[in-house]
Amino acid sequence: MRSRVLELLLATFAAAGCGASASAAPAPWRRVVLVELFTSQGCSSCPPADAFVRELPAQGLGRDKVVPLTFHVDYWDGLGWKDPFAAPAFTERQRSYARSGRLRSPDGRAGIDGIYTPQMIVDGTVHLSGQRRHDALREMERAAARPPAFDLVATATLRGSTIDVVATATDRRATKRDEDWTVVVALAATKARTAVTRGENAGETLEEAAVVRALSDGTPLTRGPVTVRLGKPADLPWSTITVVAFVQSRVTGEIGAVSVVDPTQLTAR
């Protein structure tokens, strides 16, 4: 009898163990996740976060899974080093996230007190320090487990120093919500290298990736194609630029879909 009880207990523990393993299995990666990093070359805490973004492809998180964009803010510029990639528009984007009250932390707390660097925003809805790699990866996985709200296809035509990006979004949602969706386009330097001579990072040579150099305003999404025109930074050739289009809700901040323009498909006129 005792032997039979032991067998039953072992079978129960084995089944529980199998169940735990099954529940721990990663969820399927159902969509491309947009990751925004607000950073500055004048911030000594930022280089590790910049390195994290740069290393994402080596961790198996290429553009088919995660599309990063790093926005250099300008509120560190008065402390010894003027970030050459900083722009007031990028600081305003970060401030608008904070003002909206829509962001939540990984533990579910809503809202945010002020802005900071390095701040990472995943899927337009979750914020955390860009130094918290484990938490950031977990939030990327959570976002990827949800289906995209749209199928998004983006193409581009070069016109000298400008680019016309045509984005076509098809709504995938079975239940439509009353949300104000917009199309945003970013031009990002695929990589950058800067020798910093002053400020908190004096003496460091910073290696950065996905550095946003131009960002469009949100263009209202329509049933048909949406065209967005942007100017190219004079110091960058087209071959070094990544073109990213995404759909974002003005109501919730959620990213509905992301598309990277295939550089081999760029046409010139």
CA distance 264 to 269: 15
The verdict on residue 236 lying in a domain is: yes
- Give the strand pairing for 150-159 and 267-268: parallel
Rounded-to-10 torsion of CA 249, 250, 251, 253: 60
The DSSP bridge partners found for residue 71 are 38
Q: What is the signed CA dihedral for 78, 199, 208, 102, rounded to 10 degrees? A: -50
Closest CA relative to residue 27, chosen from 144, 139, 181: 144
Peptide bond connecting 220 to the previous residue in cis, omega within 30 degrees of 0: no
195 occurs within a structural domain: yes
Domain CATH for 91: 2.60.40.10
Categorise residue 147: left if φ over 0, alpha if ψ from -120 to 50, beta otherwise.
beta
CB atoms within 10 A of CB 149: 21
Domain with 126 in it: 33-268
CB atoms within 10 A of CB 110: 9
End-to-end CA distance of the chain: 85
Which residues, in sequence order, are CB contacts of 247 under 8 Å at separation 6+?
149, 150, 152, 167, 169, 181, 182, 183, 184, 221, 255, 256, 257, 258
| Assigned domain for 262 exists | yes
Q: Is residue 122 part of a domain?
A: yes
Domain assignment present for 109: yes
Q: Is residue 17 part of a domain?
A: no
Which pLDDT belongs to residue 246?
98
Residues 70/210, Cβ–Cβ less than 8 Å: yes
Query: How many Å apart are CA 72 and CA 90, to the nearest integer?
Result: 7
Would you say 256 and 248 are in contact if contact means Cβ atoms under 8 Å apart? yes
How does pLDDT run along the chain (269 residues), one tens digit per residue? 434 433 443 343 333 343 333 445 566 899 999 999 999 999 999 999 999 999 999 999 999 999 999 999 999 999 999 999 999 999 999 999 999 999 999 998 898 878 999 999 999 999 999 999 999 999 999 999 999 999 999 999 999 999 999 999 999 987 777 679 999 999 999 999 999 999 999 999 999 999 999 999 999 998 889 999 999 999 999 999 999 999 999 999 999 999 999 776 776 66
The answer to whether the CB of 190 falls within 8 A of the CB of 165 is: no
Q: Under DSSP, is residue 199 helix (H, G, I), strand (E, B) or coil?
A: coil
* Burial bucket for residue 96 (CB in 10 Å: 0-12, 13-18, 19+): exposed
Number of domains in the chain: 1
| pLDDT of amino acid 266 | 72
**pLDDT of amino acid 245:** 98
CB 37 within 8 A of CB 53: yes
Quick check: is 4 in a domain?
Answer: no
Q: What pTM, to 2 d.p., does this model score? A: 0.88
CB-based contact 213:236 (threshold 8 Å): yes
As beta bridge partners, residue 182 has 220, 248
Q: Given this model, what pLDDT does residue 22 score?
A: 40
Whether 27 is covered by a domain: the verdict is no
